[in-house]
């Protein structure tokens, strides 16, 4: 059900300043119909270079419409320098807050405003840097890093709520997660190389990775894993439980455990399963 | 404000007579059916009566019915049992338009090394039967195809597919949660091995479902513990709800004709009128072969959640084809699988009726919805005023 404030509902049901200004001074368009929301913002300045009128058209959900309506109200009467300082948080605050899945609606408002101002000033649009991580919504690694850092985002859901990245097919989830992990754990851990460690350090790191990163997922499916031995870069483990999937445990191992350990410990690590004689599925 | 409830594929009103039937099991008849004493034991006979009622709606034998907690549990139990009893087979066939109960389960299983084939559909939501047939292999453990789609109501040829599977010795399961009570079925005349149903889509309460497992089919339980349900599903019976499901099956049989005449007439009136008076509004699915109560309509160039919220203000309860509320902005996988363009998919509303709907309610929606669509389109940057009505 909708977790919207009264103010969001009010702006949605009675949006202010709908439309486009024909001879606008600034025009900003963001989003697309494929993305699920889009906003076109236009404004007109008065003789003192203050925003005299602002209008919007929005394709999107209730909070997208409310955010756009709020934005037009907020910027009227401001100079461009003042308007430029408005952030998406200001828009959300104006509305008494937005559900976390809907923060991107206010981000869309901020972006449209930025674009509209630069269209007036004739300054080139900010070029997005980085490599596209989420192809569904065209979000790059640098944008994700920036959002994670500046807004202290801790989970994939928060990133999706903020940037929409990850809200489509989901193929980019792993990559987004690893960007988040980089900031939560700090880059130190992944920089350590197995070769440079004592055997004890090696085992500790493997154990820790199994405990924190692998076991929880296995436990959820009714399985478990135990570290048996480490020999060079070969890691011996024993799988337990999860009878429904144990005949496929080899594939589970290859896909998950090995990939995770390679990522966290060393890239050429190999996982071998120790099978006890009497195991019956 | 009394709601105008047209979201019956999500859940249904519990019929007053069904509530009535349940009540004794919350008050004086609280015994455990497994107890040795008469007080508890007599409750067991009510469970057996309910089993007969469910079996009779499906054209099954009472011993082929296992009570579960919901449709999702039935689906999971069916698929997991098929894999468990055939440990050498590694392949599952399902469709691109399944309910998450099957879809997410199969996605999870694929991470555990099972090979999953999902059969595509055409733009009317009809299954690609050639594709399905070509992919049946010796390694296929089970084929699971829903009987009718929850979003568009499109009905799939499950009896035909079951026949194909049985010729090749492959198990066939159907998620019939939306179909039971609306489509007349006689499982004894089909080759369907397993079928899931859910109480709360049939005017019984939430938290009760059943799984049909054809006699002679190997089955391993999903819930392990006591010997309830002849060892096929452990856990103390949800007696009141089981009784309710039994009663609901009788109720469904009594109202099946009304579903297919009266409810269908209301649905057709709603759909035809809306798509006629509103420009760029299209009905989705296999219009000639679908559930009598379901209508999925795309209103182009606007977004579904906004439509829903405006309808909500007037007490109209429907649902959208998009998963927008869950944070994902991707429109429903069903509409995407059908290739419904983004311009339309985002603005899709599902109306699902029941025998409790009245013609006045339908007229109310017909009166109130067009201005809502018009209003949202006037805000949309993609809407061209010359298209207006
Ligand atoms: S690539 Fe990010 S959600 Fe599809």
Instruction: List, for residues B205-241, the tens digit of each pLDDT value.
Output: 999 999 999 999 999 999 999 999 999 999 999 999 9
Q: Is B236 on the interface with A (CB under 8 A)?
A: no
Per CB-CB distance under 8 Å, the chain B contacts of A33 are: 301, 342-343, 346, 382
User: Residues B182-212: pLDDT tens digits?
Assistant: 999 999 999 999 999 999 999 999 999 999 9
* Facing A160 at nearest CB: one of B90, B327, B343: B327
**Do the chains contact at B346 and A33, CB–CB below 8 Å?**
yes
User: Residues A161-178: pLDDT tens digits?
Assistant: 888 888 777 778 888 998
Segment B337-354 mean pLDDT: 92
Percent of chain A at pLDDT exceeding 90:
35
In three-state secondary structure terms, B175 is: strand
* Facing A62 at nearest CB: one of B108, B309, B330: B309
Q: Is A22 on the interface with B (CB under 8 A)?
A: no
Residue A280 has a pLDDT of 35
Can you tell me the distance from the alpha carbon of A14 to that of A232, in angstroms, rounded to the nearest whole number?
Answer: 68
- Which range, A18-22, A213-217, B64-68, is most confident? B64-68
Q: Are strands B294-299 and B281-284 parallel, antiparallel or unpaired?
A: antiparallel
Q: Are strands B115-119 and B91-95 parallel, antiparallel or unpaired?
A: parallel
Can you tell me the distance from the alpha carbon of A257 to that of A239, in angstroms, rounded to the nearest whole number?
Answer: 11
Is the pLDDT at B91 greater than 50, yes or no? yes
Q: Is A38 on the interface with B (CB under 8 A)?
A: yes
Q: Is A247 on the interface with B (CB under 8 A)?
A: yes
Q: How confident is the model at residue A26 (pLDDT cuts 50, 70, 90)?
A: very high
* Distance to chain B for A156, nearest Cα, Å: 11
Per CB-CB distance under 8 Å, the chain B contacts of A252 are: 111-113
Q: Which residues contact residue A11 at a Cβ distance below 8 angstroms, ignoring those fewer than 6 apart?
A: A65, A66, A69, A70, A95
Three-state helix/strand/coil letters over A173-239:
HHHHHHHHHHHHHCCHHHHCCHHHCCHHHHHHHHHHHHHHHHHHHHHHCCEEEEEEEEECCEEEEEE
User: Residues A73-131: pLDDT tens digits?
Assistant: 999 999 999 999 999 899 999 999 998 888 888 889 999 999 999 999 987 666 667 88
Could you say which DSSP state residue B174 is in?
E
B324 classed as catalytic: yes
Segment B120-136 mean pLDDT: 97
- Which atom of ligand 1 has the smallest separation from the CA of A139? 2
Looking at chain B, how many residues does it have? Answer: 389
Q: Give yes or no for a contact between B277 and B389, defined as CB atoms under 8 angstroms apart.
A: yes
ipTM: 0.84
- Buried b or exposed e, range B304-329, using 16+ CB within 10 angstroms: bbbbbbbbbeeebebbbbbbbbebbb
Task: Indicate the average pLDDT of chain B.
Answer: 94
Residue A267 has a pLDDT of 74
Report the residue of A71, A135, A244, A249 to disrupt the B interface, i.e. the one with the largest count of B CBs within 10 Å.
A244
């Amino acid at each position: 059900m909708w977790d919207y404030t009264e103010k969001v509902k009010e702006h949605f049901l009675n949006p202010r300043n709908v439309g486009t200004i024909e001879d606008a001074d600034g025009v900003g368009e963001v989003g697309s119909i494929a993305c699920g929301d889009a906003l076109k913002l236009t404004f007109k300045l008065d003789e003192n270079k203050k925003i005299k009128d602002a209008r919007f058209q929005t394709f999107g959900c209730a909070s997208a419409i409310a955010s756009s309506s709020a934005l037009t109200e907020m910027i009227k009467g401001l100079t461009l320098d003042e308007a430029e300082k408005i952030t998406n948080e200001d828009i959300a605050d104006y509305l008494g807050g937005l559900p976390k899945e809907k923060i991107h609606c206010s981000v869309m408002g901020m972006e449209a405003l930025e674009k509209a101002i630069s269209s007036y000033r004739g300054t080139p649009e900010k070029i997005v840097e980085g490599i596209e991580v989420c192809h569904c919504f065209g979000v790059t690694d640098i944008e994700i890093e920036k959002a994670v850092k500046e807004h202290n985002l801790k989970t994939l859901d928060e990133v999706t709520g903020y940037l929409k990245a990850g809200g489509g097919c989901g193929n980019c989830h792993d990559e987004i997660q690893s960007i988040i992990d980089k900031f939560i754990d700090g880059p130190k851990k992944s920089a350590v190389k197995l070769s440079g460690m004592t055997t004890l350090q090696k085992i500790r790191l493997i154990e820790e990775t199994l405990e924190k990163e692998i076991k929880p997922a296995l436990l959820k499916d009714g399985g478990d894993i135990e570290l048996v031995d480490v020999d060079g870069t070969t890691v011996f483990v024993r799988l337990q439980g999860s009878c429904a999937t144990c005949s496929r445990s080899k594939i589970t191992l290859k896909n998950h455990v090995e990939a995770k350990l390679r990522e966290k410990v060393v890239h050429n690590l190999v996982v071998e399963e120790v099978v006890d004689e009497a195991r019956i599925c | 404000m009394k709601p105008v409830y047209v979201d019956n594929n999500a859940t249904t009103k519990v019929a007053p007579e069904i509530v009535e039937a349940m009540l004794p099991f919350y008050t004086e008849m609280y015994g455990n059916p497994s107890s040795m004493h008469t007080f508890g034991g007599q409750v067991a006979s009510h469970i057996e009566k309910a089993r007969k009622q469910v079996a009779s709606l499906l054209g099954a034998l009472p011993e082929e019915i296992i009570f579960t907690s919901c449709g999702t549990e039935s689906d999971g139990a069916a698929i997991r049992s098929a894999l468990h009893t055939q440990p050498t087979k590694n392949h599952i066939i399902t469709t691109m338009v399944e309910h998450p109960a099957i879809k997410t389960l199969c996605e999870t299983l694929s991470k555990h090394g099972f090979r999953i084939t999902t059969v595509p559909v055409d733009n009317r939501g009809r299954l690609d039967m050639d594709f399905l047939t070509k992919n049946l292999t010796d390694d296929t453990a089970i084929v699971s195809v829903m009987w009718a789609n929850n979003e568009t109501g499109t009905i799939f040829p499950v009896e035909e597919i079951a026949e194909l599977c049985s010729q090749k010795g492959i198990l066939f399961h159907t998620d019939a949660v939306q179909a039971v009570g609306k489509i007349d079925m006689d499982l004894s005349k089909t080759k369907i091995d397993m079928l899931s149903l859910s109480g709360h889509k049939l005017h019984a309460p939430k938290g009760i479902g059943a799984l049909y497992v054809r006699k002679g089919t190997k089955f391993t339980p999903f819930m392990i513990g006591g010997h309830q349900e002849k060892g096929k599903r452990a856990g103390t019976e949800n007696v009141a709800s089981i009784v309710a499901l039994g009663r609901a099956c009788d109720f469904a049989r009594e109202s099946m004709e009304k579903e297919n005449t009266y409810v269908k007439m209301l649905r057709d009136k709603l759909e035809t009128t809306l798509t006629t008076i509103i420009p760029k509004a299209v009905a989705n699915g296999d219009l000639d072969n679908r559930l009598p109560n379901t209508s999925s309509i795309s209103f182009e160039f606007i977004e579904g959640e906004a439509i829903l919220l405006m309808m909500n203000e007037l007490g109209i309860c429907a649902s959208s084809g998009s998963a927008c509320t869950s944070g994902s902005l991707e429109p429903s996988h069903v509409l995407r699988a059908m290739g419904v363009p983004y311009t339309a998919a985002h603005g899709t509303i599902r109306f699902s009726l029941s025998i409790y709907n009245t013609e006045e309610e339908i007229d109310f929606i017909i009166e109130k919805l067009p201005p809502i669509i018009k209003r949202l389109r006037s805000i949309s940057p993609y809407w061209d005023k010359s298209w207006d009505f």
